[in-house]
Each structure stands twice: as structure tokens, then as C-alpha cells.
């Protein structure tokens, strides 16, 4: 599930049940997720007050009162749920459907208000790491990370600059977290569809010889910004077994125009094409060959 909009949705769901509270106890139920937990993981977190729950690209970034920073990545199947001391669950966060099981509850943060933040991850592609506020920007996960696709850093000039001379397919360039950090397979497909651009086109074709943005580059810039904003507004998409804690599905999935719509009619006005799927650098790409050029 989690691309940037989903991680932002999780962050917003967790923040009210985390910020300002002390992490009284950490239950770490296995030695590793995708990677081993860092040394002294429990010791460095227990007793700390969690000052803020932030996000950078697809990472959750939790700041502690002593400068420790907990970095969490949800991988492909990671999710959080919140359980309150009353036994209630809270709406707003994503979690793996509990009718399945709690077998994959790997970490439980017991907070000072009696609530629990529970990390569940069937595939264990997620990971957690510790760094410090001072070392955050240069830690291995963030050191080479590109700009956020939200906010002012994303501009057609920026895109033209990093795409110039690149022979990689546009799709691959957009998935490259060193250029733009936070886009994944779904939203790249959606942004390219909105901009009417072929995923096969070279990234370099969006810049002129002098490195200025082409008209296509302008369209893509707007498309990326809008698709991410729309998805965050919708509370992230929800695929397969992901549901909100109140049981409702994330509903951006109903807005997919390309992703997962193989064989269905293209939704571009007056376009009579249909969505095709093919494999590009090992991943499924969905596009309309008729209106995406």
C-alpha cells in the first residue's frame, strides 16, 4: 500500500495518540523486520517523550525529547493500528484487517495514556531505525533522498534539471527516490496518465537542450502535485485488505484512472483507447497507448 499519501494518512492517524506522550514500554517481538532492529532499540526509546510524529517521503519520523529520532518504513505491507486503553480503536489510521490475525504484530509501543500503537507487517519489508536529530539529514536512508513532491521544491525547472540527458524511461526516473522521494508505482502511473505522457518516453525528452522544461514537463509537474494532493485529501488509497480502523476503505482507489484498470476504457475526454498493462523494470505499468505520448 504505502506510497507517500498513505504514509501521510498513517502519520495523521498516529499523531494525536503519540505526540506529547511518553513511550513507557516497547514490545519488540522479533529480532528483525527486513533488517535487524538497531542495537539498544528498546533501551533508547523507553522512557522518552515523543515530541512529534513527522514524515519524509515514505518514512515516518518520530522525534524524541532527547534528540533521538525513530525512523519507520512500512515497506509493502506495513501498517499501524491504535488501540486505546478503553479497548476502542480509533478511526483514521490504516491497519491490516484484524479479522485475519495479529500474527504479524511485530512491535507494540505502549504509551503513557494507556494507548498502544501496534505495527503489523505480514511481509516484513518494513524496517525501523534510530538516528539523531542532528544526524537525520545525513543518515543512510535520507542522505541521497530527493525532494518531496508536495510543496515548492517540485517545479518544472527542477524536473527538467534532473531529467536532462537521462535516457531512462520516464517511469523509472519518477520512481527514483533520489530525484523525487515519495512516488511509487501507483501514483507514477496515475501522474503519467494525467499528463498524457508515455511511461516509455525518455526522461531526457522533458528538457530542452539548454535544460529548460518542455510543455510536457510543465504538465507532468502539475499532474504529480495534483495526484498526490488529491490522494492525501482522500485519505490515501486502500488496496486489497487495507481498511481504516473504522472499517471504511480508503477511497482514492476509486479514482484510479490507469492503475489496475487493464482492458478498461481510458477516461480521458474523447479518448477511445483502453488501458494496457506491461512490465517495465520489473513492475507493472498501466497506461493508455492512445492518449499518452
Catalytic residues: 2-3, 58, 283
> Which part of the chain contacts DNA (CB under 7 A), choosing from 83-91, 100-108, 148-156, 216-224?
100-108
Residue in this structure with the C-alpha cell 541521497, named with its chain if needed: 144
β-pair type (50-56, 242-244): unpaired
3 binds DNA (CB under 7 A): yes
Total Cβ atoms within 10 A of residue 52 = 12
Figure out which of the listed residues 2, 92, 149, 199 binds DNA, where binding follows CB under 7 A. Answer: 2
254 binds DNA (CB under 7 A): no
Kindly tell me which of 1 and 275 has the beta carbon lying closer to DNA.
1
> Which part of the chain contacts DNA (CB under 7 A), choosing from 43-51, 166-174, 207-215, 266-274?
166-174
Number of residues that bind DNA (CB under 7 A): 41
Figure out which of the listed residues 241, 271, 289, 290 binds DNA, where binding follows CB under 7 A. Answer: 241
Residue in this structure with the C-alpha cell 511518553, named with its chain if needed: 22
52's torsion region: left (phi>0), alpha (psi -120 to 50) or beta? beta
> Which part of the chain contacts DNA (CB under 7 A), choosing from 8-16, 60-68, 153-161, 172-180?
172-180
Where does residue 209 rank: exposed (0-12), middle (13-18), buried (19+ CB within 10 A)? Answer: exposed
How far is it, in rounded angstroms, from Cα 61 to Cα 120?
17
User: Least distance from C-beta 51 to DNA, angstroms?
Assistant: 25
| Beta-carbon contacts of residue 187 (< 8 Å; ≥ 6 apart) | 3, 4, 5, 224, 227, 228, 231
Figure out which of the listed residues 31, 134, 140, 270 binds DNA, where binding follows CB under 7 A. Answer: 140
User: Least distance from C-beta 219 to DNA, angstroms?
Assistant: 22
Figure out which of the listed residues 184, 199, 213, 235 binds DNA, where binding follows CB under 7 A. Answer: 184
Give, in order, the Cα–Cα distances in Å from 104 to each of 31, 45, 93, 107, 120: 13, 21, 17, 9, 5
**What does the binding site for DNA look like in residue numbers (CB under 7 A)?**
1-3, 6, 34, 57-58, 73, 75-77, 100, 103-104, 122-125, 140-141, 166-169, 172, 175, 177, 183-186, 237-242, 281-284
Amino acid at each position: 500500500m504505502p506510497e507517500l499519501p498513505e504514509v501521510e494518512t498513517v502519520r495523521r492517524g498516529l499523531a494525536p495518540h503519540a505526540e506529547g506522550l511518553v513511550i513507557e514500554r516497547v514490545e519488540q517481538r522479533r529480532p528483525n523486520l527486513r533488517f535487524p532492529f538497531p542495537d539498544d532499540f528498546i533501551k533508547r526509546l523507553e522512557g522518552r517523550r515523543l515530541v512529534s510524529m513527522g514524515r519524509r517521503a515514505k518514512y515516518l519520523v518520530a522525534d524524541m525529547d532527547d534528540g533521538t529520532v525513530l525512523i519507520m518504513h512500512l515497506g509493502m505491507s506495513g501498517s499501524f493500528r491504535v488501540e486505546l486503553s478503553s479497548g476502542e480503536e480509533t478511526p483514521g489510521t490504516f491497519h491490516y484487517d484484524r479479522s485475519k490475525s495479529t500474527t504479524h504484530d511485530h512491535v507494540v509501543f505502549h504509551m503513557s495514556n494507556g494507548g498502544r500503537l501496534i505495527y503489523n507487517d505480514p511481509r516484513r519489508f518494513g524496517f525501523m531505525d534510530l538516528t539523531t536529530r542532528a544526524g537525520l539529514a545525513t543518515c543512510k536512508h535520507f542522505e541521497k533522498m530527493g525532494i518531496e513532491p508536495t510543496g515548492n521544491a517540485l517545479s518544472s525547472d527542477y524536473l527538467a534539471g534532473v531529467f536532462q540527458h537521462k535516457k531512462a524511461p520516464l517511469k523509472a526516473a519518477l520512481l527514483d527516490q533520489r530525484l523525487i522521494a515519495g512516488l511509487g508505482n501507483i501514483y507514477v502511473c496515475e501522474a503519467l496518465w494525467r499528463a498524457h505522457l508515455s511511461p516509455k518516453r525518455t526522461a531526457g525528452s522533458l528538457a530542452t537542450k539548454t535544460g529548460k522544461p518542455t510543455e510536457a514537463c510543465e504538465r507532468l509537474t502539475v499532474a504529480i502535485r495534483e495526484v498526490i494532493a488529491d490522494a492525501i485529501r482522500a485519505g490515501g488509497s486502500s488496496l486489497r485488505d487495507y481498511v481504516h480502523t473504522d472499517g471504511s476503505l480508503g477511497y482514492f482507489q476509486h479514482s484510479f484512472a490507469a492503475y489496475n484498470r487493464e482492458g478498461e476504457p481510458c477516461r480521458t475526454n474523447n479518448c477511445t483507447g483502453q488501458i494496457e498493462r506491461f512490465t517495465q523494470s520489473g513492475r507493472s505499468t498501466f497506461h493508455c497507448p492512445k492518449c499518452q505520448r
